[in-house]
Chain A
Amino acid sequence: MTGAGCDPNAAPPAEQPPAALRRAAVGKTLVIGLGNPLIADDSVGLRVVEQLKSRLADYSGVDVTEDYWGGLRLMERMIGYSRAIVVDAICTGTAPPGTIHHLAADSLATQRSASAHDVNLPTALAFGRHAGAELPADQDVHLVGIEAQDVINFSEQCTPAVTEAIPRAVEEVVRLLDALLERSGR
C-alpha cells in the first residue's frame, strides 16, 4: 500500500496562500467527494466535501462537488479540469480507521474510484483521452482516502474513528489543494 498516513497530532492547519496566488493557478480544479450516504463509513467522502464547500467558497477556479460512483462516471466528471482531488473511503486494512492516505490515481482503488461494472480510474482517464476529452494528467489526479471501519452496514452515521477524521481530512484536502494551486501558478 502506498501513500502517506496522516499524523493525528499534526500541527494546526497552515495559513492559506494569498488570494492572488490562488487566482493565478492554470486551469480549473475539481474537488469531488465520492460515497454512499446510506452505508456507514462509505459516506465519509460526501461528508468531507460538504464541509469543503464552505471552506473553499472563495477559491476561484475550484469546483467542489460529490458523486456516487467511480469508473467512467468519475472520469466524465473530470472533463474540463486540469487537476482533481477525489475524497473517498478506503479499506486498506493496513492502518487504523480514520487514517488519512494520500494516493496517486493509479494506486489501490478507494471504495468508489473504481467500478466493478466498468473500468478503473487510470483506464477510464486513458479512455476519455482517446475520445478527445480534456482531462487532467494522471499525476494531477490525487486521491485522499480515509481508512474505513464499516462499509457493509446500512447506517446514516460514520463510525466514531471515521467521524473524528472528517475535520482532519478537510484540512488535509485544503493543504493539498493549496500546494497544487501554488505549484501550478508558478
Chain B
Amino acid sequence: MKRISIDPITRLEGHGRIDIFLDDQGDVANCYLQIPELRGFEKFCVGRPVEEMPNLTQRICGVCPEAHHIAATKALDNVFHVDPPPAAKKLRELLYSIFVATDHTTHFYALGGPDFVVGPDAPAAERNIIGVIQKVGMDIAGRVLKMRRDGHKLIKMMAGRAIHPNWGLPGGVSCGLNEEKRAEIEKLGRDAVEFAKFSLQLFNDVVLGNSTYVDLIKHDMYAHQTYNMGTVDENNHVNFYDGKIRVVGPDGKERFKYDGKDYQEYVAERVEPWSYLKFPYLKQVGWKGLVDGIDSGVYRATPLSRLNAADGMATPLAQQEYQRFYETLGGKPVQPTLATHWARLIEVLYVTENWVRLATDPEITSSEYRVLPTETPTEGVGCVEAPRGTLTHHYVTDERGLVTKANLIVGTTNNNAPICMSVKKAAQGLIKKGEVNEGLLNMVEMAFRAYDPCFGCAAHTLPGQMPLEVRLRDPQGNLVQRLTQYVD
C-alpha cells in the first residue's frame, strides 16, 4: 500500500475529517481522524498573574467551566504552597457535585438518551431530546429544566455567577454559606437524588429491558481493551474533587496510583504528523500506536473508566447501582464504549447523594473557608474529574506569581487515541470489500457521543448532526468516495 502523507494544516476546514485507507481487498487498512483544536493557550497565559487562571481557563470551553475553575483553584493552592481549611474543600466539592449532576443529566437526556430511548435506527430527526420526551412522557421536559435551573441557581448562589464561578482562591474560596442557603441546597439536592433515581429507572426499563439495546451496549464494534483512569479516595471509591489518580489494566488490575502532581511521570503526550490532536499515553507502558492491549499505553478516562478504576462508590444508592452494573455486564472491567451512558447515570446518583451529604455536613456553614498564602509562588498541579475525564492543570510561575508556563490536559484529550480507535473499529465493521454501509456516519457518531468530546471545532456543531467528512482512498491514496454530513 502506498504511503500517503497527510498535511493537516492545509486540509482542515473547521469540521471533523476522517481519511480511510482501503487495502487491496477493499477493507479498511487505516483510519485517520483529524479535528482542529483551539491553539495558542499557553502563549496566551504567559505573563499573566496566576490568580487569573481560574477565571481564564473556565472560558476555554462553555460546557465545563466549573471543572476548569476548580482544577485551576487547586493548582493555585499548590503554586502558593497553601492547604485550604476543611470547610473550603467541602464547599468546593459541594459546588462541584452540583455541577457534575447538572452536566451529566443534560448529556444523558440530550445526547445519550436519544441513542437508546428513541433507538439508533430511528430517523435522525427523531433521535433527539424531543424524541425522548415523546417516548417517555412530556413531564420529563419539566424535570430536566428544573434540574438545570436548580443547578445553575445554586452555583450562582455559592460562587457569584451561574456558569462561570468567580470564587476559587489559593487557600480556599471567596465566600461561604449561611444556614438559609445551606437549607436551600439540601432541599434541591434531595430533589436531585430523586431525579437521578428516576433516570436510572428509565434506563433500566427502556434500555436494559430491551435485548436489542443490551446487545448494542455489549457489541464488539465499540469495545476496546484499554487501560482505564479515574480519581479515587482513600477507600478506592470514585471521587470527582480529590484523591489519587488510579489506572487499571485491561485485566482490571491496578497498575498505577499516583498524586496528580506526579502526572508527568505517568502520562506522556504523543504527537503524530497527521493530526493536530495530541495523544496522551501511559509513559511506563509505552506508545505502541493506536492499538488495544495490556502492552499498549493507550488509556481511557471517561465515566466508564472511573467506575472501572475504582472498587466502588462512596454513597449507598450509587454503590447498589455500581454492583448491578457489573453483574449485568459480566464483571470488571467493562470495556464496551456505549456502557459509558449507563456509567454516567450511576455517577449522577453518586454526585447527588454526595451533594446532600455535604449540604448536611456540620462544617459546611463554617466561616473558616480560606487561609491566606504566605509563601513565594513557584509551581503547582491541580486535578479534578471533569465530566468527560481526568482534568489536569499545571502552572509554573516566577517569584512574582506571573505565569511562565501552563499545561492543561483536558478531559477529552485523554481520550483522543481511543476515539480514533473507536472510529476505525466502526469503519472496519461497516466497510467491506469497498462497499460502505449506509449507517457508517451514524455509527461513527455514536462512538463520538459516548465520549462527549470537547473538540474546539465542535463548539458550533449540532449534536446528532456533527459536521463530518469521510474520505475513502484506495491503496494508492486516490480518493474513491466521499461521504459527508452537514458539510458543504
Name A's B-contacting residues (CB within 8 A).
Answer: 1, 36-39, 42, 67-73, 76, 91, 93-94, 109-120, 123, 126-128, 130-133, 151-155
A-B contact pairs, 5 of them (CB 8 A): A71-B110, A73-B163, A119-B110, A126-B130, A154-B41
Which residue of B36, B43, B149, B460 has the most chain A CB atoms within 10 A of its CB atom?
A: B460
B40, CB-defined interface residue at 8 Å = yes
Question: Which among B264-272, B285-293, B413-421, B461-469 touches the partner chain?
Answer: B461-469
Interface residues as binary, B439-459 with A (CB distance below 8 Å gives 1, 0 otherwise): 000000000000011111111
Name the 5 nearest CB pairs between A and B, nearest first: A69-B62, A131-B141, A118-B110, A154-B44, A116-B458
Residues A120 and B130 in contact, CB atoms below 8 Å apart:
no
Interface check B386, CB cutoff 8 A:
no
| B36→A132 contact, CB < 8 A | no
- Chain A residues contacting B461 (CB-CB under 8 Å) are 109, 114, 116
Contacts of A153 on B, CB cut-off 8 Å? 38-40
Report how far A67 CA is from B161 CA in the complex, Å: 12
Tell me how far the C-beta of A20 lies from the nearest C-beta in chain B, rounded to whole angstroms.
36
Bound Cα distance from A36 to B41, whole angstroms: 13
**Contact partner of B38 among A39, A73, A127, A130, CB < 8 A?**
A39
Residues of A within 8 A of B475 (CB): none
Q: Which residues of B contact A130 (CB under 8 A)?
A: 130, 133, 138, 141
Q: How far is the CA of A132 from the CA of B140 in the complex (A)?
A: 11
**When the two chains form their complex, are residues A38 and B459 in contact, meaning their CB atoms are under 8 A apart?**
no
B460 touches A69 (CB 8 A): no
Residues of B within 8 A of A112 (CB): 62, 459-460
CA distance A128 to B455 in the complex (A): 27
By the criterion CB–CB under 8 Å, are B452 and A155 in contact? no
Interface string of B287-320 (1 = CB under 8 A from A): 0000000000000000000000000000000000
Could you say which of A1, A93, A94, A123 contacts B13, with CB atoms under 8 Å apart? A93
Interface range, B side: 35 or more
Contact status A117-B460, CB under 8 Å: no
Q: Chain B residues near A128: list those with CB within 8 A.
A: 141, 145
The residues of B that contact A111 with a CB separation of less than 8 Å are 459-460
Residues of A within 8 Å of B463, CB to CB, are: 114-120
Task: Find chain A residues with CB under 8 A from B208 CB.
Answer: none
Having A127-B133, A130-B130, A151-B460, one finds 19 other A-B pairs with CB under 8 Å, namely A1-B488, A36-B59, A38-B56, A69-B62, A94-B488, A110-B460, A113-B460, A115-B459, A115-B463, A116-B455, A117-B463, A118-B110, A120-B465, A123-B128, A123-B129, A126-B130, A131-B142, A154-B40, A155-B40
Interface residues of B in 52-90 (CB under 8 A from A): 56, 59-60, 62-63
Q: Is B107 at the interface (CB under 8 A from chain A)?
A: yes
B12-31 Cβ-contact flags toward A at 8 Å (1 or 0)? 01100000000000000000
Nearest opposing residue in chain A for B164, CB measure = A68
Q: Which residues from B are CB-within-8-Å of A70? A: 460
B166 interfacial contact with A, CB 8 Å: no
Q: How far is B62's CA from A112's CA once the two chains are assembled, in angstroms?
A: 9
Docked pose: A38 CA to B52 CA in angstroms: 13
The reply on B111 being an interface residue by CB < 8 A is: yes
Cβ-neighbour of B130 out of A39, A117, A123 (below 8 A) = A123
Closest to B448 in A: A116
Choice from B110, B164, B460 contacting A91 with Cβ under 8 Å? B460
Contacts of B466 in A (CB 8 A): 116
Minimum distance in angstroms from B12 CB to a CB of chain A: 9
For residue B42, which residue of chain A has the nearest CB? A154
Q: Is the CB of A133 within 8 A of B145?
A: yes
| Contact, CB under 8 Å: B163 / A38 | no
CB distance from A37 to the nearest CB of B (A): 6
User: Bound complex: CA of A1 vs CA of B36, how far in Å?
Assistant: 22
